[in-house]
């Protein structure tokens, strides 16, 4: 296995050098959060603000997950913002104007998202219209449909409790909270997450050793796990001390788990990376490139519909301004999360980290009451630095 | 008698990782002659011309280029162009949408002050077209010309730069008989006006008809320079010089040959390219038996790869007009590679980087991508099983890498090729098509691949080997077909085949 014993320090240096790219976004996230914590005089890490950050980030996070697939395949989807706005508006119209049950309305809206994906995917893959053009047209179309849906009423206020809970409320606890105390279920979830993480890491390491693959040395392995566990427990504690885990975090967590599983464990995931890496080779290896790409567009628009639902829930209303520049946040999140501009490489978990980088900026700058114009400029600068750094390190790796 | 040399390339050596493409090549061209450069595919002709034109810039090769009496150090194509050297490539480098005059003066526009003088450009472009005897309106877009005339525009472009030396890289390979003749006449006229021409060509009939001097390259070395006036420039002599090489010991012998029934057969396949409308396959029929290696020989552009792609699920979307594909007595129509694979066909592509491997992924990924269904437990890929499979193939076919987690891009050409073969062996094919299996890999790895091929057929598989390297086809095949211009021009038993016979068939119809 390890033919020579390296000192722990040397190993850390080597790891840092080899993985600087993947560590960079964590470092960036921590730095940004700390800057805001200090700048705001401790307001940033307040439990209420962390809950708020989760709720704020959720609608971008689900978009970033879908967008990562699209970007791995070397396509792009510019329409997601207005698709989210439009589908969110439809949900509100269904519930408020037609009295449709909130859960049924959600299902209908998700189905509409799927149809939109089917339409855009067909244009891109079957007719060969570039994704940029197809989804740019989609931007126009769904922007129009959004204002059409709200034309008569203007902003629609949503009052369904279950619907509003999605992005405003917290998971229930097993003990009642007459008096303030820690949210038990949230802490339990934190502990379960830590245990699951440790078990899966140990199993993966054992497997690697079995096949003589390279692994990091034990002290570093343990330190890494302790660090991650500490972060999970810290977040769990902060949330538990407030009102518990927000539903939005649960939803994002479930979507993230499904997509991580799909990308890393299934044929479909393999094919997505394969097509992104070399579509001709994938095709000649028997991969149905059109079908897989079609799937990615369907999943993207489905998630855009979910994003629309979360956003409408968050604002408790559907507005004609919903969806503006969501696609920019989603694309930026995915790229900051290390998705390769040249395709074939990318992870949904990292895209979520990217989302937190972007949304921490939004949240922190809002907290500091920085003018929106400056917010855009700062986001743009952070984004371009991240991608430039990524491109540089990728080149060096070759 | 001795005219002055316009160009002398002295002791040119150019190495690529693992391959010495040019080995001390000497190449001298007299002023105002037509000098033909011949050799098999991979002999180093194109590399030599790339060195000359500065594509491989000064410093990446050893040796000297002496042009017009001075040692040249070209760093870009622009440097060689500035000295009056132009190359006309097989694939033309024109802008199809732009008018002829803009194409001719692209990059060296005629200006008046800071503006382009279009009127003057059109007039002068007309004069240039006159020189190449192309009588068309210079303002029509290039895409409206046929290939032959587009080539004339390229030449007009070269003339407009006052070139003294024009290199033609297989200029007539995509031209019909009339256009070819026209071009050859034009080259003679250019010679009259003092312009030196170098022509790379496989068409020996044309070479012997037009050349003043013929230089033969083989395996990256100059074999001989023949003077048309004094030396024997018969096609036989040229071919002998092109191929003459002993092929003992390069190819491992099979211990036992058990050739069985016909497994796979293609009957009367005719197909055309839907974009250009050109027929790329004309009435192609061939078959392969169990335990047999069948060679498919031909020069570049003969239609061999097109044939393989059309058969293997037709991903290029050729318009197949007629023909049958029969696997083990059953007629098939493969809609995509998956269908072909399911029927027992596999295809190791010619261009392993372009459409064979997923370079940014590791060995494990590439080994199993074509047959993941065998590794599924439910909807999940059984990664343990996958690792076992990938390790097994790595060991069996000796892929040299620290582990199966090695990124394929970081492997040598030979090992990349082995990964490709591993991938296709894992789909357990009955018939394996190998397209240029040893291109760009070193001698040791070649030998390993040949040994592997022998092992496969001994186990009952059938192999169709497409290769431009004659000795390889002769050394490995039991039987071989020769293709030229999209047709099968001959079928030979390995026992009867000689390099001269094959070469003749490969040039037939050109």
A314 and A205 both lie in a single domain? no
Same domain, A326 and A282: yes
Rounded to a whole number of angstroms, the distance from the CA of B470 to the nearest CA of chain A is 27
Show residues of chain B in contact with A212, CB under 8 Å: 403
At residue A104, does pLDDT exceed 90? yes
For the record, the structure tokens of B268 come out as: 């009367």
In angstroms, the separation between the Cα of residue A60 and the nearest Cα of chain B is 29
A15 belongs to a structural domain: no
- A93 vs chain B: nearest CA distance in angstroms? 38
Q: Are B203 and B257 contained in the same domain?
A: no
**Are A211 and B338 inside 8 Å of each other by CB?**
no
Of A48, A34, A38, A30, whose CA–CA distance to A241 is shortest? Answer: A48
Cα–chain-centroid distance for residue B497?
22
CATH of residue A144: 1.10.3470
Examine the domain organization and report whether A288 and A205 are in the same domain: no
Q: Does B302 lie in the same domain as B260?
A: yes
Helix (H) or strand (E) holding B452: helix B443-458
Q: What is the pLDDT of residue B259?
A: 86
For residue A398, what pLDDT is reported? 41
One-letter-per-residue 3-state SS of B207-249: HHHHCCEEEEEECCEEEEEEECCCCCCCHHHHHHHHHCCCCCC
Q: What is the pLDDT of residue B509?
A: 62
Partner residue opposite B369 with nearest CB, options A207, A211, A270: A270
Shared-domain flag, residues A208 and A355: no
What is the arithmetic mean of pLDDT over B52-75? 89
Nearest CB among A214, A273, A285 relative to B370 is that of A285
Q: Are residues B113 and B260 in the same domain?
A: no
A274: nearest CB among B341, B355, B369:
B369
- B362 and B441 assigned to the same domain: no
CA-nearest residue of chain A to B426?
A285
The interaxial angle of helices A267-277 and A247-265, nearest 10 deg, is: 70
Residue B333 pLDDT > 50, yes or no?
A: yes
What is residue A2's predicted lDDT score, i.e. its pLDDT?
Answer: 43
Same domain (yes/no): B406, B441: no
Decide which of B412, B428, B444 is a domain's last residue: B428
Find the closest chain B residue to A206 by CA distance: B384
Average pLDDT for chain B: 88
Own/partner pairs for A196-201, CB < 8 Å, 24+ apart? A197/A225, A197/A228, A197/A229, A197/A232, A198/A225, A198/A229, A201/A225
Who among A270, A283, A284 is closest to B372 (CB)?
Answer: A270
Cα separation, B333 vs B328, whole angstroms: 14
Over residues A214-264, the pLDDT tens digits come to 778 888 888 888 988 998 998 898 888 888 899 999 999 999 999 999 999
Is residue B297 within 8 Å of residue B491, measured between CB atoms? Answer: no
Res A397 pLDDT > 50: no
**Could you tell me if B129 and B258 lie in one domain?**
no
Tokens representing B64? Answer: 């000297």
**The domain boundary residue, chosen from B243, B264, B295:** B243
Q: Check residue B447 and give its pLDDT.
A: 84
Does a structural domain hold residue A272?
A: yes
- Contact state of B337 with A283 under an 8 Å Cβ cutoff: yes
> In terms of pLDDT, which residue wins out, B501 or A113?
A113
Q: What is the mean pLDDT of residues B224-232?
A: 88
Q: Enumerate chain A positions whose Cβ falls within 8 A of a Cβ in B.
A: 207, 211-214, 265-267, 270, 273-274, 277-278, 280-288, 344-345, 398
Domain span including residue B413: 353-428
What mean pLDDT is predicted for residues A142-157? 92
Q: CB of B379 within 8 Å of any CB in chain A?
A: yes
B380 and chain A in contact, CB less than 8 A: yes
Per the structure, the count of domains in chain B is: 3
Asked whether residue A348 is domain-assigned, the answer is yes
**Mean predicted confidence (pLDDT) in B202-210:** 85
Residue B246 confidence (pLDDT) = 46
Would you call B403 and A214 a contact, using CB atoms and an 8 Å cutoff? yes
Interface contact B361-A266, CB threshold 8 A: no
How far apart, in Å, do the first and last CA atoms of chain A sit? Answer: 26
Q: Which residue has the tokens 């949900």?
A: A91
Same domain? For A86 and A163 the reply is: yes
pLDDT digits (tens, 9 = 90+) for B373-398: 999 999 999 988 999 999 999 999 88
Nearest CB partner across the interface for A344, out of B313, B341, B360: B360
Let me know if residue A27 belongs to a domain: no
Q: Are residues A183 and A281 in the same domain?
A: no
For residue B86, the cross-strand partners are B166
Helix (H) or strand (E) holding B120: helix B118-131
Q: Please give the sequence-ordered ranges of beta strands (E in DSSP) within B73-121, or none if there are none.
A: 85-88, 111-112, 115-116
Same domain, A283 and A314: yes
The answer to whether residue B47 scores a pLDDT higher than 60 is yes
Q: How far is CA A171 from CA A164, A243, A313, B337, in A?
A: 13, 9, 16, 50
Same domain as A351, residue A226: no
Residue B247 reports pLDDT greater than 50: no
One domain, residues B419 and B434: no
Chain B residue with the nearest C-alpha to that of A210: B384
> Does residue B308 share a domain with residue B420?
no
Q: Would residue A34 count as lying in a domain? A: no
Do B337 and B479 share a structural domain?
A: yes
Residues in chain B with CB shorter than 8 Å from the CB of A284 are: 312-313, 315, 337, 347, 349, 355-356
Same domain, A301 and A398: yes
Pair (A118, A188) in one structural domain: no
Range of the domain at A369: 47-169+267-398
Tell me if A286 and B337 make a contact (CB, 8 A cut-off).
Answer: yes
Is A267 in Cβ contact with B373 (below 8 Å)?
A: yes
Cross-chain Cβ contact B355/A345 below 8 Å: no
Q: Are B314 and B454 in the same domain?
A: yes
Q: Does B322 touch chain A (CB under 8 A)?
A: no
- Identify which of B315, B357, B379 has the shortest CB distance to residue A283: B315
Out of B243, B274, B295, a domain closes at B243
B338 reaches A (C-beta below 8 A): yes
Q: In chain B, which among 269-308 make CB contacts under 8 A with chain A?
A: none
Could you tell me if B303 and B411 lie in one domain? no
Q: Which of A211, A265, A273 sits opposite B380 (nearest CB)?
A: A265
**Lowest mean pLDDT across A158-167, A253-262, B469-478:** B469-478
Interface check for B378 against chain A (CB to CB < 8 A): the answer is no
The interface pTM score, or ipTM, of the predicted complex is 0.86
The more confident residue out of A275 and B242 is A275
DSSP, collapsed to helix, strand or coil, labels residue B322 as: strand
Say whether A288 and B336 touch across the interface (CB within 8 A).
Answer: yes
Q: Is residue A5 part of a domain?
A: no
Confidence band of A173 (pLDDT split at 50, 70, 90): confident
- pLDDT score recorded for residue B466: 93
Q: Do B337 and A266 touch (CB under 8 A)?
A: no
Alpha helices in chain A (DSSP H): 8-39, 47-72, 80-96, 102-121, 131-149, 161-168, 184-210, 218-241, 247-265, 267-277, 279-284, 289-315, 326-336, 348-367, 372-397
Domain count, chain A: 2
| B387 → closest Cβ in A211, A282, A285 | A211
CATH code at position B311: 3.40.50.300
- Long-range contacts, B274-280 (Cβ 8 Å, 24+): B274/B317, B274/B318, B274/B319, B279/B486, B280/B306, B280/B318, B280/B486
Are residues A75 and A220 located together in one domain of the fold?
Answer: no
Q: Please answer whether residues B503 and B483 qualify as being in contact, where contact means their C-beta atoms are separated by less than 8 angstroms.
A: no
What pLDDT, on a 0 to 100 scale, did the predictor assign at position A3? 43
Interface test with A, best of B339, B355, B408 (most A CBs within 10 A): B355
Backbone phi and psi for residue A169, each to the nearest 5 degrees, phi listed first = -110, 175
Q: How many CB atoms lie within 10 A of CB A5?
A: 8
**C-beta atoms surrounding A362 within 10 Å:** 19
Q: What average pLDDT does the structure give for chain A?
A: 90
Q: Note the pLDDT tens digit of each residue in A342-389.
A: 899 999 999 999 999 999 999 999 989 999 999 999 999 988 988 888
Q: Are A102 and A266 in contact (CB under 8 A)?
A: no
Q: For residue B1, is pLDDT > 50? A: no
Quick check: B359 contacting A, CB < 8 Å?
yes
Residue B401 pLDDT greater than 90, yes or no: no
The helix (run of H) or strand (run of E) holding residue B155 is: helix B147-160
Q: For residue A173, what is the DSSP state?
A: -
Contact A251, A313 (CB under 8 A): no
Sign of CA dihedral A138, A141, A147, A149: negative
Q: Which of A245, A276, A301 is the last residue of a domain?
A: A245
Instruction: Tell me whether residues A278 and B358 touch, CB distance under 8 A.
Output: yes
Q: Which of A245, A280, A296 is the last residue of a domain?
A: A245
Q: Are residues A241 and A285 in the same domain?
A: no
Task: Determine, for residues A214 and B384 on separate chains, whether the beta-carbon distance falls below 8 Å.
Answer: no
Handedness of CA B396, B399, B400, B405 (dihedral sign): negative
Residue A134 has pLDDT above 50, yes or no: yes
Would you say residue A125 lies in a domain?
yes
Please name the member of B313, B358, B380 whose beta carbon is closest to the beta carbon of A274: B358
- A158 occurs within a structural domain: yes
- B291 and B256, same structural domain? yes
Q: Is B407 on the interface with A (CB under 8 A)?
A: no
Contact indicator for B479, B294 with CB cutoff of 8 Å: yes
């Amino acid at each position: 296995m390890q033919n020579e014993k390296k000192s722990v320090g040397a190993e850390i240096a080597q790891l840092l050098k080899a993985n600087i790219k993947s560590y960079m976004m964590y470092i960036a996230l921590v730095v940004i959060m700390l800057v805001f914590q200090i700048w705001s005089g401790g307001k940033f890490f307040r439990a209420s603000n962390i809950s708020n950050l989760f709720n704020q980030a959720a609608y971008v996070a689900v978009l970033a997950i879908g967008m990562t697939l699209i970007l791995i395949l070397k396509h792009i989807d510019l329409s997601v913002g207005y698709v989210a706005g439009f589908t969110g508006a439809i949900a509100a119209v269904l519930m408020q104007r037609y009295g449709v049950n909130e859960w049924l309305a959600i299902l209908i809206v998700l189905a509409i998202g799927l149809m939109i994906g089917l339409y855009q995917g067909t244009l891109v893959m079957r007719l060969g219209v570039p994704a940029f053009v197809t989804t740019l047209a989609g931007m126009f179309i769904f922007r129009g449909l959004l204002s059409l849906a709200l034309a008569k009423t203007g902003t629609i206020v949503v009052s369904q409790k279950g619907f509003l809970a999605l992005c405003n409320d917290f998971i229930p606890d097993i003990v009642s909270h007459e008096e303030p105390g820690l949210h038990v279920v949230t802490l339990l979830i934190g502990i379960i997450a830590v245990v699951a993480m440790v078990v899966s890491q140990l199993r993966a390491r054992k497997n690697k050793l079995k096949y003589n693959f390279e692994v990091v040395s034990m002290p570093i392995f343990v330190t890494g796990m302790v660090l991650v566990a500490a972060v999970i427990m810290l977040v769990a504690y902060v949330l538990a001390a407030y009102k518990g885990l927000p539903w939005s975090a649960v939803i994002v967590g479930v979507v993230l788990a499904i997509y991580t599983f799909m990308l890393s464990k299934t044929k479909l995931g393999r094919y997505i990376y394969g097509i992104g890496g070399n579509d001709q080779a994938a095709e000649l290896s028997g991969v149905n490139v059109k079908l897989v790409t079609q799937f990615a567009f369907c999943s993207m628009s489905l998630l855009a519909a979910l994003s629309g639902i979360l956003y409408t829930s968050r604002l408790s209303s559907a507005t004609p301004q919903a969806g503006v520049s969501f696609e920019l946040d989603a694309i930026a999140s995915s790229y900051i999360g290390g998705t390769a501009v040249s395709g074939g490489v990318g992870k949904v978990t990292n895209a979520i980290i990217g989302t937190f980088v972007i949304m921490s900026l939004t949240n922190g700058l809002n907290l500091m009451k920085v003018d929106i114009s400056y917010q855009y400029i700062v986001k743009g600068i952070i984004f371009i630095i991240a991608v430039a750094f990524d491109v540089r390190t990728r080149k060096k790796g070759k | 008698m001795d005219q002055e040399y316009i160009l002398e390339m002295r002791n040119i050596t150019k190495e690529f990782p693992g391959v010495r493409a040019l080995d001390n090549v000497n190449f001298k061209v007299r002023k105002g002659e037509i000098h033909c450069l011949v050799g098999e595919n991979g002999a180093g002709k194109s590399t030599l011309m790339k060195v000359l034109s500065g594509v491989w810039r000064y410093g990446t090769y050893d040796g000297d280029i002496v042009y017009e009496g001075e040692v040249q150090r070209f760093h870009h194509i622009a440097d060689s162009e500035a000295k009056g050297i132009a190359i006309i490539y097989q694939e033309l480098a024109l802008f199809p949408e732009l008018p002829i005059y803009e194409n001719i003066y692209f990059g060296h526009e005629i200006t008046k002050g800071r503006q382009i003088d279009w009127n003057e450009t059109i007039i002068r472009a007309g004069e240039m077209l006159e020189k190449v005897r192309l009588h068309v309106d210079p303002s029509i877009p290039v895409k409206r010309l046929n290939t032959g005339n587009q080539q004339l525009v390229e030449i007009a472009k070269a003339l407009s730069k006052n070139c003294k030396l024009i290199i033609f890289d297989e200029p007539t390979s995509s031209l019909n008989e009339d256009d070819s003749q026209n071009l050859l006449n034009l080259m003679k006229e250019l010679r009259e006006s003092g312009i030196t021409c170098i022509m790379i060509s496989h068409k020996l009939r044309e070479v012997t008809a037009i050349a003043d001097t013929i230089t033969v390259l083989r395996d990256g070395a100059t074999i001989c320079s023949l003077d048309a006036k004094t030396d024997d420039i018969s096609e036989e002599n040229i071919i002998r010089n092109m191929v003459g090489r002993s092929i003992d010991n390069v190819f491992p012998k099979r211990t036992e040959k058990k050739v069985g029934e016909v497994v796979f057969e293609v009957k009367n396949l005719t197909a055309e390219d839907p974009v250009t409308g050109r027929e790329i396959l004309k009435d192609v029929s061939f078959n392969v038996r169990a335990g047999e290696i069948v060679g498919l020989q031909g020069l570049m552009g003969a239609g061999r790869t097109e044939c393989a792609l059309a058969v293997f699920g037709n991903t290029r979307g050729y318009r197949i007009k007629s023909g049958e594909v029969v696997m083990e007595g059953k007629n098939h129509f493969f809609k995509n590679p998956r269908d072909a694979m399911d029927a027992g066909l596999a295809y190791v592509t010619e261009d392993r980087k372009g459409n064979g491997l997923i370079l940014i992924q590791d060995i494990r990924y590439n080994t199993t991508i074509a047959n993941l269904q065998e590794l599924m437990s439910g909807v999940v890929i059984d990664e343990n099983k996958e690792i076992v499979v990938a390790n097994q193939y790595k060991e069996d076919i000796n892929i040299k890498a620290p582990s199966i987690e090695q990124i394929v891009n970081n492997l040598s050409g030979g090992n990349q090729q082995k990964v490709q073969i591993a991938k296709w062996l894992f789909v357990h094919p009955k018939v394996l098509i190998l397209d240029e299996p040893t291109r760009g890999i070193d001698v040791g790895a070649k030998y390993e691949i040949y040994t592997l091929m022998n092992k496969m057929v001994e186990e009952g598989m059938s192999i169709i080997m497409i290769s431009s390297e004659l000795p390889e086809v002769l050394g490995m095949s039991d039987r071989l077909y020769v293709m030229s211009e999209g047709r099968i021009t001959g079928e030979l038993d390995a026992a009867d085949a000689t390099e001269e016979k094959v070469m003749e068939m490969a040039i037939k119809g050109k």
